[in-house]
Structure 1
Amino acid sequence: MKLLYITNARIPTEKAHGIQIMKMCEAFQQAGLFVELLVPFRVQSSRMKEVKKTLWDYYDVDTPFHIRHIPALDFIPLEAILPQKIVLGLYYIQSLLFSLFALFFTWRERDAFYYSRDLQTLFLLCLTKHLHRKAIFYEAHELHGIGEATGVFSSLSHRIMSVILDRVDGMIAITKQLQAGYNKRGIDEGDILVAPDGISAKRLSVSPDKAAARQRLQIPLDRKIVCYTGHLFRWKGVYTLADSAAYLPENWEIYIVGGMESDVAALQRYLGESGVRNVVITGYMPYNAVSSYLSAADVLVLPNSQKARISREYTSPLKLFEYMAAQRPIVASNLPSIREVLCHQQNAWLVNPDDPQALADGMITVMNNVQKAEHLVNNAFQDVRAYTWERRAQQICEFFARRMK
C-alpha cells in the first residue's frame, strides 16, 4: 500500500522537523509501505542547496523513498519586510495552494492513503474526502484550534480543526498531554495513538568514545563538559542554561551546539552583557556531526522552560532520545512532557525549570556521584530501545490497519 506523506516543509532544512519527517518516511518504507513524500519547491539557503545534493547521507537514510517536489509560491523571503499578520495570511494562502497542487498530483492514486502533520493540507484533504475516497491520518505535534489564542486566525484555526477532527481516520499524537487535549475536544482515546519521537536503531550500536571525540573536536580532557544540542528558542531553556554557568566550577564548560544565525547572535549578545565566559556556542551543525559533541560531553542537558505550553505539555524532543543513546547522564527540566519519557533518579536527574542554580546543582550532583550517574546512564540506554523510529513506524502501521478495516 502507498503512503502519501504531504508536508509543507522545506526539505532539506536545518530544523529538527526535517529529521523527524525523513526518518519516519524511511521507517515506513522499511515497514513495508511504499512511501512518497510530497514537499514544496522552496527557497533554499546556500548551505541547504549543497545538502540537497547529498540528501540521503545528510539525514543518514539507508532505505531511500520517493520524494516529489510540488510547485508552490514561497513567501518566506518576505518575512523580514512585512508585518507578521500579513505574513501569516500569505502563509495560509501558500499552504492551501501547495495542498491543492499536492491533491491534484495524487488524486488518481489507488491503494493509497494520506498522512500529514499540516493543518491546511489536512483541511483540504478532509474537505475533498468524498471525492478522492482515501483514508487520512493526522500526526499531531501541537494542540490546534482549542482556543488558546485570539483573533481572526484563531477563529479560522478552530474551524479548520473542526473539519479535520470530524473527518480524519485516525490521529497520532507525540505526547499523552496532546492526546488528553484532543480527548477534551471530543476525540475518543481509541482514535488517537500516542507515539513519541525516537532515534534510529543503528545509533544504539555505536559505543561513544569520549577521548576520540575530544581529540576530534580539540576539547581538553581535563575540562568537564556540559552539552546542549538543538535550537536556541527561548522555550528550549538555553538562556537558563547560560545563566547556570555562573554556578559551575571553573573547570567546567557549557557547549551549546546548534542554532540559526540570528538566534546565535542574540545569545552571544546576552552572554557578552552578562559577562559569562565558560559557554561555547558552535552555531549550526549538520545532523551527523552532533553525535561527536554528545560523545565528548560529561553531562547532557535538556533545560526546557515551563513558561510555554508547547514546552510543558506537547514537545517530544529528538535530542532527548539522542541523549539517552549517548550513554551520558541527563539533567532535564521536571515538566509533564519530559516526564513521559524520563523519570527522576531512574534514567535522568530532573530539576525545577527556569532555575539556573537548580540546573547547575543537578549537573554537579550527577558528576560528583559516579555510581548514581552510571545508574541513570544504564537505565536510559535500556529505556531508549523502546523509542526507535523503526518501532514507532511498526506501531503506527498497526494503527493504520486497525483504523482502515
Structure 2
Amino acid sequence: MKVFFVINQHVFDGSAHALYCYRNCWWLARTGAGRSVELLVPGTLSLARDVSAACAEHFDLPPLENLRVTALPALRKAKRERGVTLNVIFHAAASWHLRRHARKGDVLLTASFPKLFAFLAGKKTLKSKLKCVYEVHQLQELDGHKDQPKSVREHRVLALADGLVTTTDSLKALLQKNHPATPLINIGLACAVPKTLPAPAPGATPFVLGYVGSLYRGQGIDWLIEYWESISAALPRAAQLKIAGGSPAEIEKLRDQIKDGMHDHISFVGQVRQSELNGFLSGVDALVIPALNQGRMPCVAITKAYDYLACQRPVLASDLPSIVEVMRPEQEALVFAAGDAAALAAQLRRLMSAPELGLELVQSANQRLLTLGWEARNSRYWPFLQASPD
C-alpha cells in the first residue's frame, strides 16, 4: 500500500500549511512499517533537482527510505508575488503520475485543495483503484459563505471522498451533518516540538510573555497589542510582549498599531526556525494564544495549542473550543475569555504570583504530550487509511 499526498503548493513557501504537509508525510512514512509515502508538489526553478533531500534539509528531518518527494510540471507564481498560475498544468501532471504509478488499493490524500481533489477524485480511472481521502482543516461556511456557491461547491467536492479526516470536534460535527454516510475520523494535529527546554528562572524582571505563530487577523495579536498597555498596567511587576512569526509587511503593520510609549514593551523577532526556537524561548517566561472568537478560529485546529505543549513554558489561552479540547483549562493552560483583556490580566497575575502554578501547568503538558504526539496520531490514522471503503 502506498499513500500519494498531493498538494498544489510550493513546499518551501514558508507557510504553516506547507510545514504541516511535509511533517504529516514524514510521520506517516516513519510510522508506516512496510508502506511508502510520496508527496507530489508543483515543480519550479527554485526546487532542487533532488527534492526529497532538499526537503529533509529544509524541514530539519532526516531522510526516510519510504518517503519520496516528487516535483511535477507546474506554472505558478511565488507566494505573495505577481505572476501567472495555471492550475490545470499541475492537475494534469498529477493525474498522469497517478495513472502511471498508483496501484489498486493505494490511497490518494490531500488537505485543503478542493479543486485539485475534485479533478483527481472525479476521474473514474483513478477512483477505481485509489481510495480518495480528504483532510478537512476548515470549511467555507466558517468564513460566512454557508449558503453561497463557494460552500455548495466545497460540499460537492467532499462528497467525492471515500473518507474524510478532520482535526477538531467542531469540524467533525459539521461534516457529519452534511456527509453522514461518509466514513469520518477526527485525529487532531500533533505536537512537533522536542522537549529540550529548561524552565525559566522564577521571578525574573521583566516578565516576558511570548507568542510564536502566524500574525493574520483572528490570531489575536492585533488585539493583544491594542490592549497590552492596560494589561501590563494591571500586573504586579513590569512585563513585556515578545512576538515571533509573520512576514515583514505584517510586522510593520502591527508596529504601526503600538501606542506611544509602548514601543519598548513590545518586540518582534520575525520568523523563528525550528533550530532557533530554543534561543527565542530562553528569554520567555510564558506563552500566549490570544485567538479571537471570529470566523473559522473557534472550529479549526490551532497548531500552537499542540506545539506549545512541548515548550516547557506555562500557557495562557483564549477559551475557543478548538483550543480547550487540546489544552484543558487549569491543566495545560490558564484560560481567559477570548477578547477580554481584564480576564487575561487576571490570569497573568495568578501566574506571576504563584511560580508553582506554572510548574504544574508544564508538568501536565508533558503528560498530555504522550497522547498528542505523531506516533499516537498515526496509530489511528493508518487503520483509517487502510480500511476498505463501504
Q: TM-score, normalised by structure 2?
A: 0.87
* Cα distance in structure 2, aligned partners of 1:150 and 1:254: 37
Identical residues among aligned pairs (%):
23
Matches within 5 A, 1:307-326: 307-308=294-295, 310-314=296-300, 316-326=301-311
* Cα distance in structure 1, aligned partners of 2:376 and 2:327: 19
* Cα distance in structure 1, aligned partners of 2:355 and 2:143: 47
Provide structure 2 residue ranges, at least 5 long, that are not aligned to the other structure. Answer: none
**Alignment deviations for residues 227-264 of structure 1 (CA, whole Å, 9 cap, x no partner):** 10011111100012223421215632111011111101
| Residues 96, 120 of structure 1: 8 Å contact kept | no
Q: Which amino acid aligns with 1:73?
A: L
Are residue 191 (structure 1) and residue 183 (structure 2) matched?
yes
Are the structure 2 counterparts of residues 27 and 267 from structure 1 closer, same or farther at C-alpha, using a change threshold of 3 Å? same
Are the structure 2 counterparts of residues 146 and 203 from structure 1 closer, same or farther at C-alpha, using a change threshold of 3 Å? closer
Bigger shift: residues 126-135 or 340-349: 126-135
Q: Give the match for residue 66 of structure 1.
A: 68
| Residues 323, 330 of structure 1: 8 Å contact kept | yes
Are residue 203 (structure 1) and residue 224 (structure 2) matched?
no
| Counterpart among 144, 147, 151 of residue 148 in structure 1 | 144
* Cα distance in structure 1, aligned partners of 2:173 and 2:88: 28
* Cα distance in structure 2, aligned partners of 1:274 and 1:403: 62
| Cα offset, 1:209, TM superposition | 5.6
Q: Which amino acid aligns with 1:226?
A: L
Matches within 5 A, 1:310-389: 310-314=296-300, 316-389=301-374
| Residues 76, 87 of structure 2: 8 Å contact kept | no
**SS of equivalent residue, structure 1 residue 24:** helix
Are the structure 2 counterparts of residues 274 and 236 from structure 1 closer, same or farther at C-alpha, using a change threshold of 3 Å? farther
Are the structure 2 counterparts of residues 241 and 63 from structure 1 closer, same or farther at C-alpha, using a change threshold of 3 Å? same
Provide structure 1 residue ranges, at least 5 long, that are not aligned to the other structure. Answer: 83-89, 212-219
Are residue 165 (structure 1) and residue 161 (structure 2) matched?
no
| Cα offset, 1:76, TM superposition | 4.8
* Cα distance in structure 2, aligned partners of 1:259 and 1:274: 23
| Residues 20, 197 of structure 1: 8 Å contact kept | no
Q: Give the match for residue 215 of structure 1.
A: none
Are the structure 2 counterparts of residues 287 and 18 from structure 1 closer, same or farther at C-alpha, using a change threshold of 3 Å? farther
**SS of equivalent residue, structure 1 residue 346:** coil
Q: Give the match for residue 377 of structure 2.
A: 392
Q: TM-score, normalised by structure 1?
A: 0.84
* Cα distance in structure 2, aligned partners of 1:30 and 1:402: 20
**SS of equivalent residue, structure 1 residue 311:** coil
* Cα distance in structure 1, aligned partners of 2:261 and 2:166: 40
* Cα distance in structure 1, aligned partners of 2:124 and 2:358: 53
* Cα distance in structure 2, aligned partners of 1:364 and 1:147: 35
* Cα distance in structure 1, aligned partners of 2:30 and 2:158: 29
* Cα distance in structure 2, aligned partners of 1:332 and 1:195: 22
| Residues 293, 339 of structure 2: 8 Å contact kept | yes
